[in-house]
C-alpha cells in the first residue's frame, strides 16, 4: 500500500513546486500578470457594457529560464470588428524603463498589446514591492504609466 493517496501525492508535488525558487519566481510573475489582466478587465467593464466589449481567452505556452514551462492566459479584446490581443511575452526581459517622472527601473515582465502589425509594449517594474506597469509606444518609444485612460488611448490608437 502506498503511504500517500494520489491526491496527497499531487498536493505534495504542488507544494514542492511552489516552494522551489523556480516555482516562486513563476508564481510571482503569474500573480503580477493576473493583476494586470484583472485591471484591464475591470477598466473596460467600468466604461462599457461587457457585451459590447467582449474579452476572450487566448492561452499561450511559455518556456523561460528560471521559470520552466507554463501556460498563461492572453486576452483578445473585441470592439466592433477590430480586436487587440493582450499577449504575455514573459517575466524575463532585457533592459529597464525610464519614466518621464524620473528614475530608472529594471523591467520585470513584458506584455504586448497587439493589433495587426502594430503594438504597444507594457513593462512591469517593481517599486517598493509593488507592481507598476508602463506602456511604451513601439514607434516613438515614449514611456507612460499604464492607467485606465492610457489603455483607452492605446485601444483607440491601435483600432483606428
Segment lying near other proteins (by CB under 8 A), choices 1-9, 16-24, 116-124, 125-133: 116-124
Nine-digit cell at 2? 502506498
Nine-digit cell at 148? 485606465
Q: Residue 26, interface with other proteins (CB under 8 A)?
A: no
Nine-digit cell at 98? 525610464
DSSP designation for 66: T
| 3-state SS assignment for residue 88 | strand
User: Closer CB to other proteins, residue 5 or residue 21?
Assistant: 21
Within residues 77-96, the interface with other proteins by CB under 8 A covers 89-90, 92-95
Give the H or E element holding residue 34: helix 21-47
Segment lying near other proteins (by CB under 8 A), choices 3-11, 41-49, 114-122, 149-157: 114-122
At residue 134, φ and ψ (nearest 5 deg) are -125, 145
Q: Residue 99, interface with other proteins (CB under 8 A)?
A: no
Task: List interacting residues with other proteins (CB under 8 A).
Answer: 62-65, 89-90, 92-95, 110, 116-118, 121, 141
Amino acid at each position: 500500500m502506498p503511504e500517500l493517496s494520489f491526491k496527497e501525492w499531487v498536493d505534495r508535488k504542488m507544494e514542492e513546486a511552489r516552494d522551489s525558487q523556480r516555482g516562486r519566481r513563476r508564481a510571482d510573475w503569474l500573480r503580477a500578470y493576473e493583476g494586470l489582466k484583472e485591471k484591464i478587465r475591470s477598466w473596460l467593464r467600468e466604461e462599457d457594457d461587457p457585451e459590447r466589449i467582449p474579452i476572450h481567452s487566448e492561452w499561450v505556452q511559455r518556456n523561460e529560464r528560471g521559470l520552466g514551462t507554463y501556460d498563461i492566459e492572453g486576452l483578445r479584446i473585441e470592439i466592433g470588428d477590430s480586436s487587440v490581443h493582450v499577449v504575455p511575452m514573459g517575466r524575463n526581459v532585457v533592459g529597464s524603463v525610464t519614466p518621464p517622472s524620473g528614475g530608472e527601473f529594471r523591467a520585470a515582465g513584458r506584455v504586448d498589446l497587439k493589433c495587426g502589425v502594430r503594438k504597444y509594449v507594457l513593462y512591469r517594474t517593481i517599486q517598493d514591492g509593488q507592481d507598476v506597469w508602463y506602456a511604451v509606444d513601439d514607434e516613438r518609444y515614449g514611456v507612460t504609466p499604464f492607467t485606465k485612460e492610457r489603455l483607452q488611448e492605446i485601444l483607440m490608437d491601435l483600432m483606428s
